[in-house]
């Protein structure tokens, strides 16, 4: 069998095909369906990790006494905080409109009262009954399974129609940051919509997050990031993250199809395929699955079903086989239904 392990690894890990391709979706993202992995039918396999196993088997035949660095399977949970609250950061006019809509359009008197009540009670903390305030539940569940959750916060507004309505300096967000840190979970950056091509904006947003964390006595050994909407341009985005002092990025998964965009479920050093430069200060942590990718009709469309659960578990087991990382993104605002909560819990148990 003729197999170019090193050439294939370079092609997949460097995202070379994205650097030379002009195919993009409506958010200027390289889509899964344009990738060789999707077209050739191996997007749901960590193909480079499988190649490494083949290479290792061949090397053992030649050098039987060779020792290998052992890796351990990990489940890595992350949550992009696009919307920490359903309405706490709305303007008074927005709250009024929402309440009027509850009453006049939906005939929901309870909702019409609840919306302004929650808004009034969210001056310095998120209301416990806010449907997007799932942070305590998320952390409780992570701790139950011996896991740590990472929460990535938006710290800029480069597109008002795509970014969020909260400021990282808001007292309620500061309280949330303190609580996440006190419980031993991780805080990270979610660079805003148009930063993927704007290195200075990434730096400014990272500095803003770190300033707030310093104010709150929050010290972390490393800082992770994931780009908003998974927007990414090789190699421009990587250099912005390096300049911002980001330790690792976990953007590289496809929005339209779950799987192994980089051909691996192991972290690796970032590499610029244009300058052929290794970016020693930045690690890439491939994103394997995002909840809306598998569930939402606009993407894979499996809904909250047995098929969706089986897809998540198939990807999780593929990571487990090669002792890699099953990196799962589930937004804090996507636990409103009991069915989604049950699915998430089943995935963690699986």
The CATH number for 297's domain is: 3.20.20.370
200 and 94 fall within a common domain: no
* pLDDT band (50, 70, 90) for residue 28: very high
Together in a domain, 198 and 65: yes
Q: What is the mean pLDDT of residues 197-204?
A: 98
pLDDT at 3: 72
Residue range 149-179, pLDDT digits in tens: 999 999 999 999 999 999 999 999 999 999 9
* pLDDT, mean over the chain: 93
For the chain, the domain total comes to: 2
Q: Looking at residue 86, what is its pLDDT? A: 84
Mark whether 278 and 172 lie in a shared domain.
yes
pLDDT score for 89: 82
Band of residue 122 on the pLDDT scale cut at 50, 70, 90: confident
At 103 the pLDDT is 58
Domain of residue 168 covers 1-85+128-350
269-303 pLDDT tens trace:
999 998 999 998 999 999 999 999 999 999 999 99
pTM of the entire structure? 0.94
Q: Based on the domain organization, do 160 and 189 belong to the same domain?
A: yes
pLDDT bucket at 33, cuts 50 / 70 / 90 = very high
Considering the domain architecture, whether residues 165 and 190 belong to the same structural domain is answered as yes
Look at residue 192 and tell me whether its pLDDT is greater than 90.
yes
pLDDT at 102 over 90: no
Note whether 13 and 99 are same-domain residues: no
Positive or negative, the CA dihedral 252, 254, 258, 264 is: negative
Q: Please tell me the predicted confidence (pLDDT) of residue 290.
A: 99
What value does the mean pLDDT take over residues 119-148? 92
Q: Angle, nearest 10°, between helix axes 236-243 and 199-215?
A: 30
Same domain assignment for residues 155 and 269: yes
Residue 220 sits in the same domain as residue 159: yes
Task: Give the residue among 158, 162, 155 at the shortest CA–CA distance from 187.
Answer: 155
Chain center to CA of 48: 22
Position 91 pLDDT exceeds 60? yes
Same domain, residue pair 113 and 257: no
Of 75, 98, 121, the last residue of a domain is: 121
pLDDT tens readout for residues 77-88: 999 999 999 888
Q: Is the pLDDT of residue 309 over 70?
A: yes
* % of the chain exceeding 90 in pLDDT: 81
187 plus 322 within the same structural domain:
yes
* Most confident of the following: 94-108, 113-127, 270-284, 305-319: 305-319
| HEC sequence for the chain | CCCCHHHHHHHHHCCHHHHHCCCCCCCCCCCHHHCHHHHCCCCCCCHHHHHHHHHHHHHHHHCCCCCCCCCCCEEEEEEEECCCCCCCCCCHHHHHHHHHHHHHHCCCHHHHHHHHHHHHCCCCCCCCCCCCCCHHHHHHHHHHCCCCEEEEECCCCCCCCCCCCCCCCCHHHHHHHHHHHHCCCEEEECCCCCCCCCHHHHHHHHHHHHHHHHHCCCCCCCCEECCHHHCCCCCHHHHHHHHCCCCEECCCCCCCCCCCCCCCCCCEEEEECCCCEEEEEEEECCCCEEHHHHHCCCCCCCCCCHHHHHHHHHHHHHHHHCCCEEEEECCHHHCCCHHHHHHHHHHHHC
Residue 138 sits in the same domain as residue 68: yes
For residues 135 and 21, membership in a common domain is answered with yes
Q: Which of 75, 104, 121 is the last residue of a domain?
A: 121
């Amino acid at each position: 069998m003729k197999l170019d392990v090193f050439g294939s690894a370079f092609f997949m890990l460097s995202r070379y095909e994205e650097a030379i391709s002009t195919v993009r979706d409506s958010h200027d993202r390289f889509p899964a369906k344009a990738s060789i992995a999707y077209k050739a039918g191996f997007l749901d396999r960590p193909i480079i990790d499988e190649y490494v196993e083949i290479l290792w088997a061949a090397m053992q035949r030649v050098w039987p006494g060779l020792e290998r660095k052992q890796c351990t399977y990990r489940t890595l949970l992350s949550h992009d905080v696009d919307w920490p609250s359903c309405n706490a950061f709305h303007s008074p006019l927005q709250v009024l409109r929402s309440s009027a809509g509850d009453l006049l359009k939906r005939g929901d008197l309870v909702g019409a009262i609840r919306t302004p009540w929650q808004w009034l009670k969210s001056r310095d903390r998120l209301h416990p009954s806010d449907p997007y305030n799932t942070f305590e539940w998320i952390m409780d569940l992570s701790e139950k399974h011996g896991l740590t959750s990472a929460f990535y916060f938006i710290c800029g507004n480069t597109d008002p129609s795509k970014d969020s309505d909260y400021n990282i300096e808001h007292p309620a967000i500061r309280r949330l940051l303190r609580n996440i840190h006190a419980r031993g979970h991780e805080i990270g950056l979610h660079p805003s919509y148009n930063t993927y091509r704007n290195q200075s904006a990434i730096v400014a947003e990272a500095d803003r997050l770190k300033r707030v964390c310093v104010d709150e006595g929050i010290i972390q050994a490393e800082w992770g990031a994931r780009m908003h909407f998974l927007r990414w341009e090789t190699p421009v985005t990587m250099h912005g993250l390096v300049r911002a002092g980001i330790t690792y990025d976990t953007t590289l998964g496809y929005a339209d199809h779950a799987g192994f965009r980089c051909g691996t479920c192991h972290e690796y050093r970032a590499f610029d395929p244009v300058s052929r430069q290794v970016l020693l200060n930045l690690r890439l942590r491939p994103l394997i699955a995002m909840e809306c990718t598998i569930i939402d009709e606009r993407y894979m469309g499996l809904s909250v079903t047995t098929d969706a659960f089986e897809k998540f578990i198939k990807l999780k087991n593929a990571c487990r086989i090669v002792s890699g990382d099953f990196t799962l993104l589930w937004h804090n605002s996507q636990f409103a239904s009991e069915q989604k909560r049950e699915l998430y819990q089943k995935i963690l148990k699986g």
